[in-house]
Amino acid sequence: MSKNYPELLPPNRILMGPGPSDIHPRVLDAIGKPTVGHLDPFYLSTMDQMQSMLRDLFQTKNEMTFAVSATGSAGMEATVVNLIEPGDAMLVCVNGVFGTRMADVATRAGADVTCIERPWGEIFEPQDLKEILAEKQPKVVGIVMAETSTGAWQPIEEISTLVHDAGAMLLVDAVTSLGGVPVEVDRWNIDAIYSGTQKCLSCPPGLAPVSFNERAIESVLTRKTKVQSWYLDVSMLASYWGDDRVYHHTAPINMSYALYEALRVIHEEGLTACFERHRLNHRALQAGLTAMGIEFTAQDGHQLPMLNAVRIPDGVDDGQIRGSLLSRFGIEIGGGLGEFKGKVWRIGLMGYASRDTNVLTLLAALDQLLAEQGCKFDRGIAIAEANRVYASSVTSAN
């Protein structure tokens, strides 16, 4: 007996949480184009061009730059399991959820993991690492550039110098940063880096851009043991993404189309313009939220423009506000994770979602919902302050 199931009709949302972000219409169109085989000449050409665009975005000439056929968390696992052999010492910088996750992945890969911690919302300074680098002499140091759980923006260049002076390799989590702020793999001497498609690339979740420099690849090729994961073994993936095109797995063809188009969108806008757009919308949102008495959690001077973690005002019902934003206004924002659970909202302005209309719509919705919960502030001031930022930007541009 046949059964009838309902048609799939997802609601239209404004995705302003920690990811996924709003998908660019051109990307949605690309993902529906005709599927070809994973060794079809057209697809192989698409892979080549996608690699070239990823290198430009990562600001690298690394040959081994490609997209892992899985989500950003698999990018983390791919970089860790290729660089780490059982017993290797690894130092992981933890100032939020995703540093903790990297340490867990490394432990599962057999690393002798040491964690160095900073309070949530703070960043690591080079002096925080000096003594422990000398003491532990790690093979790999892992750090999160854009901590999605706290909104903290970690500078990389000085720490990279320190790490390499100690003889270690640097592994960077760029899941939230890639496409929203500059990521300069070669200039900062990053050995391995990973990201995800669902944040500032405005692409559906499902691929994880990664890049390994020559030193990292040499480490993989001279391992004494096999990489823990067959699927994520870069020495094998290199034969598929390199000139030989040796079959390894059936790639997600249509997701590759989506990433290809997402990268085209970013490069057409231009990296400088893309980063400035993220900064401008962050400044407008910050001005509006500050006017309502809402504070940011990340350390001053190190607040991410595309992931705004803010403290929930005293007396405000977290679940009720986020639920009402979704049900009444169609806006999704994220709640806090870990020790920030119930204390923080995470507001994403990533990629295609980083638009002035989204900023102003969210501020108007919060103005209404917070007033309903008894918060005291001048009604309409948030929108006025945000518009002042936008107006000054137009004036300065002229």
CATH number at residue 42: 3.40.640.10
pLDDT over 80 (residue 198): yes
Task: Say if 9 falls within a structural domain.
Answer: no
Same domain, 46 and 114: yes
Task: Say if 86 falls within a structural domain.
Answer: yes
Same domain, 239 and 332: no
Looking at 219, 250, 267, which one is the last position of a domain? 267
- Render pLDDT for 240-249 as a digit per residue (tens, 0 to 9): 888 888 889 9
For residue 175, the SS3 value is coil
- Angle of CA points 296, 159, 122, to nearest 5°: 20
Task: Say if 119 falls within a structural domain.
Answer: yes
Q: Which of 183, 119, 130 is nearest to 195 (CA)?
A: 183
Same domain, 257 and 297: no
- Render pLDDT for 101-115 as a digit per residue (tens, 0 to 9): 999 999 999 999 999
Host domain of residue 147 = 25-267
Looking at 233, 267, 301, which one is the last position of a domain? 267
Task: Say if 13 falls within a structural domain.
Answer: no
- Angle of CA points 140, 144, 146, to nearest 5°: 160
Same domain, 335 and 363: yes
Task: Say if 14 falls within a structural domain.
Answer: no
- Render pLDDT for 315-369 as a digit per residue (tens, 0 to 9): 999 999 999 999 999 999 999 999 899 999 999 999 999 999 999 999 999 999 9
- Render pLDDT for 313-326 as a digit per residue (tens, 0 to 9): 999 999 999 999 99
**Mean per-residue pLDDT over the chain, rounded:** 96
Write the CB contacts of 40 (distance below 8 Å, at least 6 apart in sequence).
none
Confirm if 11 and 222 have CB atoms less than 8 A apart.
no
How many domains are contained in the chain? 2
Neighbours of 264 (CB within 10 A): 17
User: Please, which residues bridge with residue 15 across strands?
Assistant: 332
For residue 203, the one-letter residue type is C
- Render pLDDT for 147-197 as a digit per residue (tens, 0 to 9): 999 999 999 999 999 999 999 999 999 999 999 999 999 999 999 999 999
Same domain, 360 and 345: yes
Q: Is 78 exposed, middle or buried (0-12, 13-18, 19+ CB in 10 A)?
A: buried
- Render pLDDT for 76-93 as a digit per residue (tens, 0 to 9): 999 999 999 999 999 999
User: Which of the four pLDDT bands, split at 50, 70 and 90, describes residue 2?
Assistant: confident
Task: Say if 15 falls within a structural domain.
Answer: no
Task: Say if 36 falls within a structural domain.
Answer: yes
Task: Say if 7 falls within a structural domain.
Answer: no
Q: Which of 299, 250, 207, 271 is nearest to 20 (CA)?
A: 207
pLDDT at 220: 97
pLDDT over 80 (residue 398): no
User: Which of the four pLDDT bands, split at 50, 70 and 90, describes residue 298?
Assistant: very high
Same domain, 253 and 327: no
Same domain, 197 and 283: no
Looking at 267, 283, 311, which one is the last position of a domain? 267
Same domain, 126 and 255: yes
Same domain, 159 and 39: yes
Kindly report whether the global pTM for this prediction surpasses the value 0.75. yes
pLDDT at 396: 64
Give the CATH number of the domain where residue 370 resides: 3.90.1150.10
What Å distances lie between residue 54 and 43, 58, 65, 158, 184, CA to CA? 16, 6, 7, 24, 12
Same domain, 208 and 295: no
Same domain, 293 and 387: yes
Same domain, 238 and 302: no
